[in-house]
Chains A and B, each alone.
Chain A
């Protein structure tokens, strides 16, 4: 063992080439709150990594403000040791993160350092350095989104379908189940085998470390951690890492996208990202705009979300799906940051506190939620079955005011109200219980064709479970398996299903 260490040392010393070169340096003139002002470094590039040499150690910083006489930089680490007159050196490198398949199942920070205590990230394999700031794919490099990304949530997969390469915003007040939707989506990828399992990247911005630990445990217990990477910028890590975290997650997703694989990146949440960028901009003395946000707050999110795309076959056919999360205050979707991100994304899933308090979980407001990709990202079977679901629910919403007076309305209206109540009850789903799409199709088929019309609302959930158990045990090869493999509800499958439902 000591022989190997000595040999490695000898090799390192032998390979060293002594070349003194003239380096460009600067001096710190101001330091505080994670920002340093540097005199010198006239040729430094924007977003370049620079090194501040303190007495104890070297600290990395990111050059952000290139002014006439000075450079404003963001410290990527502990800034308390930095003093005035400390030397600052250039590295000629832009900010990047090392990525390869070894990151799967690991928790890292936005600088690519391991946080889970499971040892070094990369062994002998050399990782690829992916730039955090990169141009989005051009129009010619893209192709239309046509492959579904199943979340395992009935409401979303039937009425707000998400495709691979789409950007779908999850928006709602605090404690309405936004992160739960994201986690269910990740867990469902191991259950849903219709398409190849995508790589999932969960970017936790400004969250409590206890919550991140809980998330890791949930993913581990459900077997989802093996295809998931967690990028964590916890609440105590500072504005610099909060700002960089989404870009790091996107850079990791792009690595897999450019290799022809599918990837999903969840930004939880971009509201905190905007707060961090506001803090950094104000400390850098950039002029504040509306609500004290800097003028380029839209560009902050647009350049991030534009990198999610479905690439053409010539470019490998990979995709990067983005699920940004935004937290609203008192349900106000007309606020500055929510409206910005709504205008960037290809649809939104709007979660309401009122629905949550009524016990409708997931608390999705179907009326305000939309997917601009729509049924192009649905399997043919789901398209066939869920086609009239939105309409039925819309009609029910119109008639909801009459629910309390249901004895005073005509028979047709009563039936519509009852059907709406059954559909609403059938769409309810437990947390962390994603349902594969073939089972969703069966339940929705049964609900929309009136098989549950005479069922009491309280008995609907156990009945669904009984139906699923029956089909799994007795009719797997004739119903579930062909649906799972083809995604098409053929006449034979429908005939078989009708027979099962009639018996039930």
Chain B
């Protein structure tokens, strides 16, 4: 019987969140990977990991935040961008010169605040 990536992710998250001992977590991960290999579902692994990450974030209230900026943020800009971050957030910073200026912040791949200059130009001229 085939399991969907969602089934794998859900069951993995349910087990991992109950474990408190770090040694047991590693064992749990090993068991999970062995199960995936046994079922010959290695191709689905990337999707399972993405889904598992999202599920764990939802259940623990953690956020995955991606901050894209045209240049490396320093000083005041960095402070302003970090002002809404929490300690539990997983932050990834990227440089994207296509933004021209400003920042684009993605939260949990579900929400977006686009303060980039390229977006403003698009809105002004309705491109």
Q: Are A22 and B112 in contact (CB under 8 A)?
A: yes
Chain A residues whose CB sits within 8 angstroms of the CB of B113 once the complex forms: 20-23
Q: Which of B106, B114, B123 contacts A16 (CB 8 A)?
A: B123
In the bound complex, residues from chain A placing their C-beta under 8 Å from that of B125 are 12
How far is A40 from B54 in the complex, measured between Cα atoms in Å? 11
A15-69 interface (Cβ within 8 A of B): 16, 18, 20-27, 29, 39-40, 42, 69
A368 at the interface (CB under 8 A from B): no
Shortest distance between the CB of B99 and any CB in chain A (Å): 13
Point out the residues of chain B lying under 8 angstroms from A42, CB to CB.
110
Instruction: Assess whether B123 is in contact with A89, with CB atoms less than 8 Å apart.
Output: no
B114 engages A23 (CB within 8 Å): yes
Could you tell me if B120 and A25 are in contact, using CB atoms closer than 8 angstroms? no
Q: Mask for B79-101, Cβ within 8 A of A = 1, else 0? A: 00000000000000000000000
**Are the C-beta atoms of B123 and A22 separated by less than 8 Å?**
no
**Residues 55-77 of B contacting A (Cβ, < 8 Å):** none
Do B120 and A39 touch (CB < 8 A)?
no
Distance, CA A26 to CA B109, complexed state (A): 7
A69 to B10, CA, bound (A): 12
Contact between B111 and A24 (Cβ–Cβ < 8 Å)?
yes
Residue pairs across A and B with CB atoms within 8 Å: the count is 37
Chain B, residues 31-44, CB within 8 Å of chain A (1/0): the string is 00000000000000
Task: Knowing A25-B106, A69-B6 are in contact, say whether A89-B124 is a contact too (CB < 8 A).
Answer: no
Q: Are A40 and B109 within 8 A (Cβ)? A: yes
Interface string of A66-90 (1 = CB under 8 A from B): 0001000000000000000001010
State A20–B113 Cα separation when bound (angstroms). Answer: 7
Q: Chain A residues near B115: list those with CB within 8 A.
A: 20
> How far is B120's CA from A23's CA once the two chains are assembled, in angstroms?
14
A382, B110: Cα distance in complex, Å: 66
CA distance A23 to B115 in the complex (A): 11
Q: Contact residue range for chain B?
A: 10 to 19
Complex alpha-carbon distance, A87 and B96, angstroms: 15
Residue pair A25, B111 in contact (C-beta under 8 Å): yes
- Cα distance A87–B114 when bound, in Å? 12
Distance of A20 Cα from B114 Cα, bound (Å) = 7
- Cβ contact within 8 Å between B120 and A16: yes
Smallest distance from the beta carbon of A30 to chain B beta carbons, Å? 10
A13 to B115 Cα, complex, angstroms:
16
- Are B110 and A24 in touch, CB under 8 angstroms? yes
Q: Are A25 and B109 in contact, with the CB atoms below 8 A?
A: yes
Among B115, B120, B124, the most chain A Cβ lie within 10 Å of the Cβ of B124
Cβ contact within 8 Å between A23 and B112: yes
Collect the chain A residues with CB atoms within 8 Å of residue B47's CB: 29
B44 to chain A, nearest CB (A): 12
Taken together as a complex, chains A and B put the C-alpha atoms of A195 and B125 apart, in Å, by: 46
In whole angstroms, what is the CA distance A12 to B6 when docked? 47
Binding site for A on B (CB under 8 A): 6, 47, 106, 109-115, 120, 123-125
A residues in contact (CB < 8 Å) with B: 12-13, 16, 18, 20-27, 29, 39-40, 42, 69, 87, 89
**Can you give 28 contacting A-B residue pairs, CB < 8 Å?**
A12-B125, A13-B124, A16-B120, A16-B124, A20-B113, A20-B114, A20-B115, A21-B113, A22-B111, A22-B112, A22-B113, A23-B111, A23-B112, A23-B113, A24-B112, A25-B106, A25-B109, A25-B110, A25-B111, A25-B112, A26-B109, A26-B110, A29-B47, A40-B109, A40-B110, A42-B110, A69-B6, A89-B112
